[in-house]
Structure formats: structure tokens, C-alpha cells
Amino acid sequence: MNNILKEYTKKMMRYCQTGFAIIFVFVTVSSFAQGQPNNWEEIPDVKVDVIIDRKNDLPPANRNFDKIPPRPSEPIKPPMTYSFQSLNFNAPMLNAQIRPLKLKQQSSSDIYGNFLKIGYGNYASPLLEAYLNSRKDKNKLLGAHFYHHSSGKGPVDGKNSGTGTTGIELSGRSVGEDLSLGGKVGFENRTTHFYGYPKEVQLDKDTLKQSFNLFKLAGELSNSRNSNFGYKLGAGFSYLADKYSAKETEIDLSLSSSYKLSDISRISLDVNFAGLSRKDSEIDAKPRSLFSLAPSFVFLPIDDLTLSAGFILAFESDTLVSKDVHFYPNFSASYPLSPSVDVIAHLSGGIEKVSLQTLSYENMWLQKNVDIFHTNKTFDFGFGINARLGNKVAAHAGVSLNTLKDWYFFVNDPTDQSKFNVARDDARRSNLYVALSYAQSETAKFMVRGDFYGYNVDKLAVAWHRPTYKFTANGSLNVYDKIVLAADLIAQGGMKVIGPDDKATTLKAAFDLNFKASYLFSESLTAFIQLNNITGSKYPLFQHYPVKGFQATAGITWSF
């Protein structure tokens, strides 16, 4: 390598010396020529051949590379060993804590758990109602409810037709992870007078007043966890006594359960038992029992058709009937004709419980020792249509047909027209109804419904004290969350009654228009005025028993 570099350097030096000599000769000749006179002749035309095919061949150079010899290896002491192991890396499960958006929680002081209403109206009518509830623990609730509404005077002879209702109830509920337990105990007093007497009758004020005292005790147990199986166990006890000799004890047991098989099917089982015992001046205490068992299966046999199929098995011990065990089919179905129209239908039956308590809530002017038996609804068929007009308007229409055995009717006692006996008969009843409702949140609500009834009885002349039509309407309007207006209307008529001369007559139709206005001073304080029976019509609810005329009540409500 060094030899090649030396040869190359020598050649370059020779080339440089030759070049310098040529340049010197050229400069010398040019200087000499510039000093001589210009005697040049014209250069004749000549042909110059430039040969560019010359090729300069250089001999190949010898390239010698000296390789670096490898370094001798030295043995490693001690010798290295390798071990290959499988490593398993288990990452811990990721428990993502997702925090959904929550509304601001209200403190217990911001939630009104207590309510008080105080008012007074004409007919010497005080009004008092109060709700008291605990708010410390949402899983343990305690509450109390008290109410009193009375009228010292009535539509006939002032104090001789006064009425009143007073009650108190204590309730509690405890909700755990799996079970929910609730109970209540209460007392109620309802007072009235037998003011349906003829004007010429000599009054005995000691027998004019009537009152019913009711003591109630109830409890229930249910599952609080959301699961496929749900149940509710209930038990109740009540004791009713009037001002005279009538007394009734009732025990109720119930079970309502359901098991979800899938999203479109479930099975249900309802069991009810009622044990009653009534005693009166001429009736010895005798137990009456009613037991019913109602299993059902809900499923979709075809798309969109929801069908509930089952039966009702009932056992009752009333001595009026010779057959104690009764069997009824129990079917119901619904099918959407369109997204806004549904068709519904049912076919069923059952035993309707009738007791002194149920009769007294319907008619307080009962005679002593009235006959009381359960009603056997052997046939109950209904068909209807539910329609939704947008998201604010709903319409309903339908018809129902019933066959009833031992249905009860109220008839004036021929010896005392101010009291009512209970007549029984087999009957067929039809009901055609039409309803329309409108709701716009809490701002405006409106509902109207009309019912038309038809009766066909076997032994009685007519269905006494049963209306042939009933019309109801109610509505409310909230004006800027400051003024709330509400009104309702009830109209019914067509009731046939039998007079002291054994002739059938038709009672005057009822027309009752009511109005209520409330002004909200704040979220907790409200003043109200309520007007009942604005038209002042003293229509009769039952024969010889007109209602109070125009009534006005004013008061305040306070939530705290």
C-alpha cells in the first residue's frame, strides 16, 4: 500500500513540472510577439481532424489487504449455564368506578315529611288533617295520620242530620337488603243520623243517632330485592261495632306471588282467606269463611298478543247456597292493533266478599239484623279498546257483562222508612263506558267518563237503588306554580225505589259541581277555598236522604 502511494506521488510531481514549463514558454513567446510589428498573413482554410478515439489504458494495481488475526479465546471459569422458565403474569381485575351524573341530594331538612290542613265551612263544619312522618332513615319509616271532618248541621232539621268522620292511623315500614316489613294500626269513627223520617213522625232522639267504630290492624312482608321471584304476604284484623248491637270481626290473610320465567312469560299465584263473624240483637255470632286460589300463566302465544290463562277456585261457607266449592275460568288478553291502539278482553268470575263493613261504607242507614251473604259472580266478560292520541290524550271505551247470584239491593223498611233492609236476587248486569283523558305534565289535567248500566233481575220488580247512568268529570290547572284550580262534576240518575205505598218511583237525578282554588304563598304554605254542590241541589243519595246544599270551606295547608 505504501509503495503504491509513493509511485503515485512521483508521477504527480512530473506532471506538475511539465505543466509549469509549458506555461513559461507560452508567456515568453507572447511577450516577444507583442514587441514585433504585425506582419501576419491570412490563415488559409485548412481542415483539422480531431481524433477522440484515443484510449488511455492503465495497468491494474495490486491491492493487498492485511487481515486482522482473531484474538485467541480464553475459557470462562466457571462455565456459564442457562435456564429457561415460563413466566405467568396475572394482572389484577380492573374494577372501573363509574360515577354517573347525580342530582344534588336534598338534605332531610329540605324534604317536607309533615303536613297540616286546617279549615272551616258552613253547616258548622270544621276540618283538620295532619300527616307526621320520620325523615332520619330512609329505610325505616314511621308515620301518623289524623283526620276530622264533621258537620254539626245537615240538610234536614239542623243538628238532626249532622255527620262526621274522625280517624287516626299509625304506620311503620322497615326495608332491608332482602325483606321489607310493614304494619299499621288505626281507629275510625263515622257518625250520622237517621234523618230520613217523615215530617209527621214523633221523633225519639235517643234512637236518631248512628255511629260505626272500626279498629284495624294489618301487616305485610315482601321481598325487597329485585329478582325473578316476588311475593307479598299480608295479614289483617278488624273489629266493627255500631251504636246499637251490631258487631263484626274479620280476619284477612293474603299471598300474592309471581315468578318470571323469561322476558315474555311468568307464572302467578294469588291466595286469599277471609274469616268473618257477625253478631246482632237477633243474630248469634256465626263464622263465615271465604277462601280463593287463583293461579295464572302469562305468555305471548304469538307476536304482540299477551295472554293470561288460569282459573279461580273458591270455597265459601254461607248457608244460603248449597254448593260450597266454585270453579271459574280466568283469562285476559291484550293485543295492539297499532302503536297507539290496544284491544283488551277478559273472561272471569269469583266470589265477591260482602260484610257489614262493606255495606256500611255504602249505606250507613241500615236496619238492624240485615241479611248478609257473599255475591257469586258466575260470569264476568269484558271487552274494550284503549287508544292514545299523541302523548297527552288517551281514550277508552268498552262493555262488560256480568251474571250475579245473591246480589244485594237496598230497600226502605216498610215499618221505618228511615232505615234500609237488604234484598237479594239473581241479576244480569251490563255496563257500557266511554272515557277521555288529557294530561300535560302537572300543568293541566282533564278526565271525563260516562257509564251506562242495564239490569235484569229474576224475582224483584226492578234493581232497587241502582243507577242507570253515571257521568263524572274532573280537571285541574296550575297557573305559574302559584294558583291551582280544580273542578269536578258528578251526575247520575235512573234509580228506582219503592215507596211506602209499594209503588215504584224514580229518584231525582243527582248533579254535583265542585270547585277548589289554592294559592301558594310559598312551597310550604298554601291557602285554599273549596266550594261543593255549587248548584245547591239537594238531590237524594237514597230515598228520603237528601244531601247538603251549597257548601263552602276555607283554610290553609302547611308542609314542614
**pLDDT above 70 coverage of the chain, percent:** 80
pLDDT at 103 over 70: no
pLDDT in tens, 149-166: 999 999 999 999 999 999
Q: Which amino acid, residue 328?
A: Y
pLDDT of residue 33: 44
Gap between the Cα atoms of 219 and 381, Å rounded: 34
Residues 6+ apart with CB under 8 A from 314: 290, 291, 292, 293, 325, 326, 327, 328, 350, 351
Bridge partner list, 506: 496
Residue 405: CB atoms within 10 A of its CB come to 20
**312 or 83, which is more confident?**
312
**8 A C-beta contact, residue 188 and residue 213:** yes
What average pLDDT does the structure give for the chain? 87
pLDDT at 128 over 90: yes
Q: Which of the residue ranges 36-40, 51-55, 176-180 would you say has the lowest mean pLDDT?
A: 36-40
Report the sign of the C-alpha dihedral through residues 352, 210, 152, 418, in that order: positive
Q: Which of the residue ranges 75-84, 365-374, 518-527 would you say has the lowest mean pLDDT?
A: 75-84
Geometric angle at alpha carbon 322, from 317 and 327, rounded to 5°? 75
The C-alpha cell at 543 is: 230515598
Q: Which residue has the cell 312482608?
A: 221
pLDDT at 271 over 80: yes
**8 A C-beta contact, residue 212 and residue 240:** yes
The C-alpha cell at 410 is: 237496598
Which residue spans within 494-550 are E strands per DSSP? 496-498, 504-506, 510-520, 525-532, 540-542, 545-546
Cis peptide before 336 (omega within 30 of 0): no
pLDDT of residue 293: 98
pLDDT of residue 27: 45
Considering the entire predicted model, what is its pTM? Answer: 0.77
pLDDT in tens, 296-306: 999 999 999 99
pLDDT of residue 25: 46
pLDDT of residue 182: 96
Using a 10 angstrom Cβ sphere, with 0-12 exposed, 13-18 middle and 19 or more buried, the burial of residue 520 is: middle
**8 A C-beta contact, residue 247 and residue 240:** yes
The C-alpha cell at 431 is: 255496563
Q: Which helix (H) or strand (E) holds 214?
A: strand 209-223
Backbone angles phi, psi at 192, to 5 degrees: -155, -175
**8 A C-beta contact, residue 184 and residue 170:** yes
Bridge partner list, 353: none
pLDDT of residue 226: 86
The C-alpha cell at 501 is: 205505598
pLDDT at 61 over 90: no
pLDDT at 12 over 50: yes
Which residue spans within 390-468 are E strands per DSSP? 393-412, 420-440, 444-457
